[in-house]
Chains A and B, each alone.
Chain A
Amino acid sequence: DAKTTQPNSMESNEEEPVHLPCNHSTISGTDYIHWYRQLPSQGPEYVIHGLTSNVNNRMASLAIAEDRKSSTLILHRATLRDAAVYYCIPGSGNTGKLIFGQGTTLQVKP
């Protein structure tokens, strides 16, 4: 299983962009990079995933380094509702298992 490194916590101001980094230097060539988040008192929520190229959806953008050893989740305009723990998860293999590390706790200030 690939190991990930994320900052323990980050802060942002409301309506400003947020860049959440993740290092996954041991990722295998076929592993997708998933991002999930967990809002207080809720279950994890899927955010985005990608393999090699940058990805966008209605929630966020995912920028993947060319060597795939790191990625950055981009929230274009943070809202108070985006305050959560964000998990970077490389790969789920053929069992669908998501390995949740400690994640990054994002605080959004009004």
Chain B
Amino acid sequence: EAQVTQNPRYLITVTGKKLTVTCSQNMNHEYMSWYRQDPGLGLRQIYYSMNVEVTDKGDVPEGYKVSRKEKRNFPLILESPSPNQTSLYFCASSFGTGNVYEQYFGPGTRLTVT
């Protein structure tokens, strides 16, 4: 089954404790992206990757890192999480065709930083 998977689905952590949220897709998509969703602010893009070893900042990259060493994986790294990073995170992937990106989203990771 074609899908985007995220782990963990739920995470409660403390300020400053490094964490990684994994994202994996099995559709051989070149394009992958991370979004966060907050009440009243909608979904905002954090980072995106056009292909292996190619990553770039989205609208809200502060406090986050990503890597794209393999086509299927695009982990989101929080080196020193803070309470303002408490949010619902979504990973997405897509074939990029010109300026059309039919994106497939993962189920989400709900992160709470205390």
Interface string of A41-53 (1 = CB under 8 A from B): 1111110010000
* Min CB–CB distance B29 → chain A (angstroms): 11
Cβ contacts under 8 Å, A98 to chain B: 35, 43, 45, 101, 103
Contact indicator A97/B90 (Cβ below 8 Å): no
A-B contacts, CB under 8 A, total: 61
Kindly identify which residue among A42, A43, A93 contacts B99, using a CB–CB cutoff of 8 Å. A93
Contact indicator A49/B99 (Cβ below 8 Å): no
Contact indicator A30/B99 (Cβ below 8 Å): yes
Which of A52-98 touch B at CB < 8 Å? 91-98
Contact indicator A46/B48 (Cβ below 8 Å): no
Number of interface residues of B (CB under 8 A): 27
Taking the complex as formed, is A31 at the interface, i.e. its CB lies under 8 A from any CB of chain B?
A: yes
* Min CB–CB distance B45 → chain A (angstroms): 5
Cβ contacts under 8 Å, B61 to chain A: none
Kindly identify which residue among B31, B43, B92, B108 contacts A42, using a CB–CB cutoff of 8 Å. B108
Interface residues of B, Cβ cutoff 8 Å to A: 4, 31, 33, 35, 42-45, 48, 50, 56, 58-59, 90, 92, 94, 96, 99-108
